[in-house]
Amino acid sequence: MPKTKTPKRWTVLAWIAGDNNLDSYGLNDIKEMKRIGSTKDVDVVVQFDRRGNGKTYRYHLKKGTPLASDVVDTLGETDTGDPAVATDFFTWGIRTYPSEKVLAVIWNHGSGIDEADVYARARNSGIRIERRARARPNIRPRSQARAIVTSGFGRSLFGTTLDSAIRLRAIAYDDYNRDFLDNAELKRVLVNVVKQAKRPIDVLGFDACLMNMVEVAYQLRGLVGHIVASEAVEPGDGWPYEKVIGDLAAKPSADGATVARSIVKRYLASYPSSEEVTDSAVDVSRVQVLAQAVDNLAAACIPTLQAPSEADAFGRSVRTAQRFDMKDYVDLGALCNQLILRSPRPAVQQAAQQVLTNLQGPQPFVIAEGHKGKTVAGATGTAIYFPLVGDVTVNYGKLDFAKSTRWGQLITAYGQ
């Protein structure tokens, strides 16, 4: 336990869901964090559910110490797919290591809003996903897991059909307990944390794949200040934690926006030009205004689907805009650029331009963005769900974003 309750400037709370095939990478990232460790202004705290040993450790990380000496609690086996486990860690961390600001990191597999049960499909198909691997008949590297999976699971927001392999789902997968944390549960975790802590999370980072989506940010509105995440699949090494924590230690007076921008810069710099990577930071306080603009865009686009020439222009926009490893996720800015270019209807062009203004204008939703590689060259910072025809059976209405906008109606109209 810490010797003092005097608030520091920042607390980093990293929830490493490592009871899966990413266990060794979690340990490596902890070692990266320890190269800086906690300082007089920054506490670095980790909960690490390890694979196979039935134990979960809480660490207060320090520089130059054996990792075992940094253990402040041992919990036994925990289920990282249980919202109560995540809630307990974040509320405990905020209470035990008080600070002016909090950077919370959720570390694991990710799949945006697509939450089909990867474990059932993996067992049935014999496919194994490894974070860093050479593709072989029954193994897919994390950065190349591309298949579209399953339907019929009650917890998933939508289902798909099985193609050639298994891809990564949702967030915080636990192989031992065969569970995962879906987006509704993630919101419930943060609602409870914010309620108990009486404060929002300043920066929420997803060291996970495919999590920078408008729908995810909207789900978490009012609970976090800024989100840092990737639109695409992350390479195996994830975040450069030594640099991220080093920046905090060097400038602990930085606000949430500055820290979020710094993480994006460090992430992009940590990968060579040969990697296909994206990273971006968004201002969640702007997501409500963005959602209204997207709703207006949907309203302008729906009538165009009744006229063959306009429907063709819309379809070309949908098909040619930047997409990612989950092909049902389209970059929102890229889609708007295509609509401005192709749609003959001024109302659509104006609505698309308004979305772009909200994304990138004087008060932007996307406050930092970077990408490398030809396959993500059109990335602008945040994705949105828009399946290609026939790809997905949608139950989109469970999302807060779908309840608040006509985007789901546009998707349905386009698929008819």
Domain positions in the chain = 8-111+179-285, 118-167, 287-364+373-415
Per-residue pLDDT of 385-394, as tens digits, reads 998 864 444 4
Alpha carbon distance 119, 92 (integer Å): 30
Alpha carbon distance 321, 319 (integer Å): 6
Residues β-bridged to residue 368: 281
DSSP character for 325? S
Element (H, E) at 415: helix 407-415
Q: How far is CA 393 from the centre of its chain?
A: 22
Per-residue pLDDT of 34-49, as tens digits, reads 999 999 999 999 998 7
Residue 184: Cβ-neighbour burial (10 angstroms; 0-12, 13-18, 19+): middle
% of the chain surpassing 70 pLDDT: 74
pTM: 0.82
| CATH number assigned to the domain with residue range 8-111+179-285, chosen from the 4 options 3.30.420, 3.30.70, 3.40.50, 2.120.10 | 3.40.50
**pLDDT tier at 118, thresholds 50, 70, 90:** very low
Residue-averaged pLDDT of the chain: 80
Per-residue pLDDT of 146-189, as tens digits, reads 222 322 222 222 222 222 223 332 333 333 333 345 666 778 88
